[in-house]
A and B are shown apart, each in its own frame.
Chain A
Amino acid sequence: GAGVSQTPSNKVTEKGKYVELRCDPISGHTALYWYRQSLGQGPEFLIYFQGTGAADDSGLPNDRFFAVRPEGSVSTLKIQRTERGDSAVYLCASSSDPNYGYTFGSGTRLTVV
């Protein structure tokens, strides 16, 4: 596609539930990133994929968070046992050369009630 697509755009879930957030990157981009952005803050790094493998997952806050990219294209961020503190906008980005910037999607706004 022309840009990075994220679905759903909004997700409301109850505390304790499991959620999956999907990212469809720009075709041909081998690098894919997940960030989390809270209100009034800049995006915070979660995880980076180069191809199918997670090259850096140092930003995942705890073991409730997990991400996959099985075929080197679409990625899914999975959050187990959601907590109210997980409420944020989850941004996905992809890049062909990270030194020249990423292209971001519009994000998934997750609200845990």
Chain B
Amino acid sequence: QKEVEQDPGPLSVPEGAIVSLNCTYSNSAFQYFMWYRQYSRKGPELLMYTYSSGNKEDGRFTAQVDKSSKYISLFIRDSQPSDSATYLCAMIGTDKLIFGTGTRLQVFP
């Protein structure tokens, strides 16, 4: 079993939809949780990070962490075609980030 599980998708939604992306994990030592966005043939770019449990909002993006369930989520409101990318969850326990597989999101006009 992988330390971080993420549905690879693809997920296809119409413009303006609310998107929910999720990951589960097994290592209770993880303390910092992040979401990265990766466009085709580019490196991942950091979208949001959260420490421990709770919510964090930044514009159209909201990250949630539930440590008791070992479950993290990223919500995208009013999705745009420019949001079409692969979204990677990542978490850190000791010295390095562990990534999920990534979920490919397609937002169509």
Q: Which residues of B contact A44 (CB under 8 A)?
A: 99
Residue of A nearest to B97 (CB): A102
Residue of B nearest to A43 (CB): B99
Of the residues A48, A91, A109, contact of B96 by C-beta under 8 Å = A48
- CB pair A42 B6 closer than 8 Å: yes
- CB pair B43 A105 closer than 8 Å: yes
- CB pair A101 B101 closer than 8 Å: no
A56 to B6 Cα, complex, angstroms = 25
Q: Which residues of A contact B96 (CB under 8 A)?
A: 33, 45, 48, 56, 59, 98
- CB pair A55 B46 closer than 8 Å: no
Residue of A nearest to B46 (CB): A101
Residue of B nearest to A107 (CB): B43
Q: Supply 18 A–B pairs (Cβ within 8 Å), ascending by A.
A: A4-B43, A35-B99, A40-B102, A42-B100, A42-B102, A45-B97, A55-B95, A91-B44, A93-B43, A98-B92, A98-B97, A99-B31, A99-B51, A101-B34, A102-B46, A104-B45, A106-B42, A109-B41
Interface, chain A (partner B; CB < 8 A): 4, 33, 35, 40-45, 48, 55-56, 59, 91, 93, 98-107, 109
Interface, chain B (partner A; CB < 8 A): 4, 6, 8, 31-32, 34, 36, 41-46, 49, 51, 88, 90, 92, 95-102
